[in-house]
Amino acid sequence: MRITSGLCYFIVTGFLLGASVLSAVGETIRCEPAYSVFCQNVHIGCAGRTSLHTEGFSVIVAANGVDVIFDGGEKWTAHAPEREGERVIRKSDSRDWIRIDHKDSFSHRIYRKNIALIAYGKCARD
């Protein structure tokens, strides 16, 4: 049986893509906020600091989805595939979300009393 170069390229590319997806399963990402409270505007330091405290959290990537476990005990379960080195995790019953970018920085947006608040910080992969 003769394998053409195009088919060989397809097989090798498929194997590499499959391997990168499989390596993400079982991964744990630990994230720590830069400030102890949520901000109304992070583009100017932390303007509009609130009294709502931030929490560190862990992201556990499993074959069937992503679990986010906050230090205070709250847990989110979501389908949040990684796309182009970025993962967006959306809480299922609200507009709240967490984005982790390819540089392992995160932003955490929450909505309280129709006001958007944000926290940001750094993550480290285990």
Task: Provide the pLDDT for residue 30.
Answer: 97
pLDDT over 60 at 7, yes or no: no
% of the chain exceeding 90 in pLDDT: 60
Q: How far apart are CA 64 and CA 66, in angstroms?
A: 7
Sequence spans of domains, the chain = 26-125
Task: Provide the pLDDT for residue 50.
Answer: 95
% of the chain exceeding 70 in pLDDT: 80
CA distance readout (Å), 115 to 26, 50, 82, 98, 122: 35, 11, 28, 16, 24
pLDDT digits (tens, 9 = 90+) for 78-94: 989 889 989 999 988 88
The DSSP result for 6-27, as a single string, is: HHHHHHHHHHHHHHHHHHHTT-
Which two three-digit tokens encode residue 60?
Answer: 């556990």
CA distance readout (Å), 90 to 41, 75, 84, 99: 20, 12, 17, 9
CA distance readout (Å), 55 to 45, 66, 90, 122: 18, 18, 17, 12
pLDDT over 90 at 124, yes or no: yes
- In 3D, which of 70, 74, 114 has the Cα closest to residue 95? 114
- Amino acid making up residue 58: S
Q: How confident is the model at residue 105 (pLDDT cuts 50, 70, 90)?
A: very high
pLDDT digits (tens, 9 = 90+) for 43-68: 878 889 999 999 999 999 998 899 99
Average pLDDT over residues 99-111: 96
